[in-house]
């Protein structure tokens, strides 16, 4: 299983991924933290992302993802990471730590972590 941050989910949906990212994700079950859904809605609302969250295509994507809820363990882990970022990114990273699944991200702060299991 592979955990996706918000930007990687969008990149996979739009096909804007590198060969390495695509190869990593193509044969893996995919997951997201539920806060990714909130981030998508906020990006659409702010006009930073053009996406129809009600579309059949988006709903089809969701059916193929495992969505992890924010648990107490994830919330606590998000305060014990070895980097500082916005709260959503910290929750996404903590989800990977708690669930012990690699995170696919381009975020430089997270990629420097020695705690978060990372893909590629």
Q: What is the mean pLDDT of the segment spanning 69-81?
A: 98
On average, the pLDDT of the chain sits at 96
Query: What's the rounded Cα separation, in Å, for the pair 113 and 104?
Result: 13
| pLDDT, tens only, 23-56 | 999 889 999 999 999 999 999 999 999 999 999 9
pTM: 0.94
Report how far residue 22's alpha carbon sits from residue 31's, in angstroms, rounded to the nearest whole number: 15
Domains of the chain: 2-111 (3.40.50.1010)
Q: Work out the number of other CB atoms within 10 angstroms of the CB of residue 6.
A: 23
31 beta partners = 3, 66
What's residue 120's pLDDT? 81
> 99 pLDDT exceeds 90?
yes
pLDDT at site 17: 94
Give the pairing of strands 65-68 and 30-33. Answer: parallel
Residue 85: per-residue pLDDT = 94
Residue 119's CB is within 10 A of a number of other CB atoms, namely 18
| pLDDT at 113 > cutoff 90 | yes
């Amino acid at each position: 299983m592979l955990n996706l941050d918000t930007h990687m989910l969008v990149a996979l949906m739009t096909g804007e991924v590198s060969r390495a990212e695509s190869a990593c994700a193509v044969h893996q079950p995919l997951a997201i933290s539920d806060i990714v859904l909130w981030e998508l809605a906020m990006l659409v609302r702010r006009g930073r992302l053009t996406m129809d969250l009600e579309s059949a295509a988006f709903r089809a994507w969701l059916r193929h993802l495992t969505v992890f809820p924010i648990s107490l363990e994830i919330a606590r882990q998000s305060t014990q990471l070895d980097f500082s970022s916005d709260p959503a990114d910290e929750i996404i990273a903590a989800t990977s730590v708690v669930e012990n699944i690699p995170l696919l991200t381009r975020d430089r702060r997270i990629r420097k972590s020695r705690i978060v299991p990372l893909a590629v």
